[in-house]
Amino acid sequence: MSCSIFHAAHEDQRVFEMSDYQGPVARWCSGCGDHSVLAATQRLMTDEQLKPETTVFVSGIGCSSRFPHYMKTYGFHGIHGRALPIATGVKLSRPDLDVFVVMGDGDCVSIGAAHWIHSIRYNVDMVALLLDNNIYGLTKMQTSPTTPQGYKSNTQPYGSYLPALNPLEATLGVTNASFVAQTAEWVPAHLFATLQAAYRHRGFAFVRILQRCPHFTPDMYDEAVKQPDVVEILTHPEGIVVDGLDKIYKNQVRHDPANIHAARELAQEDAIRLGLFYRDETNPRYEETRSLPRRTAREKMDLLNEDFDHYAV
């Protein structure tokens, strides 16, 4: 989102510290991946010097959706699955605001699926974060669409019946997708670089963040965390560039984010890949397409009188 530039316009003497964005102590479990996403986001805001009063975090319901409460900005902790329509309304009538959306995997991919698909299509300029712990956290461990097949939960104690739905592949299948990336909460540098790229993207930036839930699924990303070799990093000058990451993550795959077909192939779950899968900034932003010159009350009344003329008896 480029609104920060627009804000810079009317010059504002304030300089914001990290602490200017930090709300009350987060009430997530200790070790929860959400903590690192929160920290990275606060760092992003400091770097970009976003104004707390013109930044809005919208979320649904879930552990991850508590996110806005821990920011010192405007926040809208909505209802389960419906963060995106709310955010769309905010941005549609207030393009001057910076909008971030935080969703869980149940929130976005299950109950919120219709809004997710259609938000990709609207391409409203906002950052949409999917905090994917492959489980329903807040409601205490039920299967989510991204839960690996066979993984046991409280609703499916004999193991999930279906293969996990791949949010990247699905997103890349939707007409008008303009920014699709994946990162992991336990790779802070990559997480930050991804958030920054998403923020700077002009359009709907969808970021799937692999997130650990030590409380319910401590084993979920264990392998990926402990063995960097099972992870592949997508690299490209046009992609997400993180210096020095190759020291730990040896598997680097060059991928041009302009190539949708390659993106879709790479999105398959044969390996955990972090990076920018696809970006296309040429797609118009819906709120721009729809934005119109504002009228004064007077102007409106004159126009309204004209409209009434057509109905005059």
Partner 1 sequence: MKLPAVGATALADREPSVRSVTDLSVEIVSDSGEGAQKCGQIFGAVSAKMGNGVWTVEIIPAEVEPPPRNPAGASGIRIRLGDQEVTNWGDETNLVVAFNEQALLGRHGLNALAPDATVLVESMWATHPDPDIQKQWADAMEELSGRDYTIIEVPMEEQCLTVVDNPRKGKNMFALGMLCWIFDRDVERAKEQIAHAFRSKAAVITERNHQLLDLGYEWAEENLGFRYEIPTMEEGAPKVVMNGNEAIALGAVAAGLELAAMYPITPATSVSHMLGEVFEKYGGVVHQAEDEIAAAGVAIGSSYAGRCAFTITSGPGLALKTEFIGLAVMAEIPLVVVDVQRGGPSTGLPTKVEQSDLLAATFGQPGDAPHVVMAPATIEECFHIMTTARRVAEALRTVVVVLTDANLATGVAPFPRPELSAEWQAAPPDQRPIPGGLAPYAWDDRTGLSRRFIPGQPGGEHTLTGLAHDERSKVAYDSAINEWSSTMRSRKVAVFQHTLLPPEVNGDPDGGDLLVVGWGSTKGAIEEAVGRVRAEGLSVSSLHLTMLSPLPPGLKDIFSRFEKVMTVEINYSDKKGDPFITDENRRRGQLAWLLRASTLVDVDCWTRVLGEPLRPGRIAHAIRENMPGGAA
DSSP label at residue 48: H
Based on the shown chain and the rule CB under 6 A, indicate whether residue 64 belongs to the binding site for ligand TPP. yes
Q: Which long-range contacts (C-beta less than 8 Å, at least 24 apart) are formed by 249-255?
A: 249/187, 249/274
Site string for partner 1, 91-130 (x = CB under 8 A): xxxx-xx--------x---xx-xxx-xx------------
For 259, the token pair is 């190539």
The neighbouring-strand residues paired with 58 are 76, 101
Footprint of ligand TPP on residues 65-124 (CB under 6 A)? 80, 104-107
Number of residues in the chain: 313
Using CA atoms, how far apart are residues 39 and 266, in angstroms rounded to an integer?
A: 29
Question: Which entry of partner 1, Mg ion, ligand SF4, none binds 271, CB below 5 to 8 A by partner kind?
Answer: none
Footprint of partner 1 on residues 214-253 (CB under 8 A)? 215-216
Site string for ligand TPP, 146-175 (x = CB under 6 A): ------------------------------
Residue with smallest beta-carbon separation from ligand TPP:
104
Based on the shown chain and the rule CB under 5 A, indicate whether residue 105 belongs to the binding site for Mg ion. yes
Which range, of 38-46, 61-69, 270-278, 279-287, touches ligand TPP by CB under 6 A?
A: 61-69
Listed in sequence order, the residues at least 6 apart from 133 whose beta carbon sits closer than 8 Å to its beta carbon are 33, 63, 64, 104, 105, 211, 212, 213, 216, 217, 220
Based on the shown chain and the rule CB under 6 A, indicate whether residue 185 belongs to the binding site for ligand TPP. no
* Closer to partner 1 by Cβ: residue 79 or 271: 79
Q: How far is the CB of 1 from partner 1 (least distance, A)?
A: 14
Of 33, 68, 104, 167, the one binding partner 1 (CB under 8 A) is: 68
- Count the alpha carbons within 13 Å of 155 in the hemisphere toward its beta carbon: 13
Based on the shown chain and the rule CB under 6 A, indicate whether residue 69 belongs to the binding site for ligand SF4. no
Of 45, 50, 66, 217, the one binding partner 1 (CB under 8 A) is: 66
Which range, of 51-59, 114-122, 137-145, 151-159, touches ligand TPP by CB under 6 A?
A: 137-145
Say which residue the tokens 């104004």 belong to: 51
Q: How far is the CB of 266 from a copy of itself (least distance, A)?
A: 11
The neighbouring-strand residues paired with 273 are 232
Listed in sequence order, the residues at least 6 apart from 2 whose beta carbon sits closer than 8 Å to its beta carbon are 125, 200, 202
Using CA atoms, how far apart are residues 169 and 124, in angstroms rounded to an integer?
A: 20
Q: Are strands 55-59 and 98-104 parallel, antiparallel or unpaired?
A: parallel
Q: How far is the CB of 101 from partner 1 (least distance, A)?
A: 11
3-class SS of residue 244: coil
* Closer to ligand SF4 by Cβ: residue 156 or 259: 156
Of 29, 92, 113, 262, the one binding ligand SF4 (CB under 6 A) is: 29
Footprint of Mg ion on residues 115-134 (CB under 5 A)? 133
Listed in sequence order, the residues at least 6 apart from 71 whose beta carbon sits closer than 8 Å to its beta carbon are 21, 22, 23, 38, 41, 42, 55, 57
Using CA atoms, how far apart are residues 180 and 167, in angstroms rounded to an integer?
A: 10
Q: Are strands 179-184 and 272-279 parallel, antiparallel or unpaired?
A: antiparallel
Question: Do 128 and 84 touch, CB atoms closer than 8 A?
Answer: yes
Q: How far is the CB of 109 from partner 1 (least distance, A)?
A: 9
Question: Which entry of a copy of itself, Mg ion, partner 1, none binds 105, CB below 5 to 8 A by partner kind?
Answer: Mg ion
Residues that bind ligand SF4 (CB under 6 A): 28-29, 32, 34, 63, 133, 137, 213-216
Residues that bind ligand TPP (CB under 6 A): 61-64, 80, 104-107, 131, 133, 135-139, 144
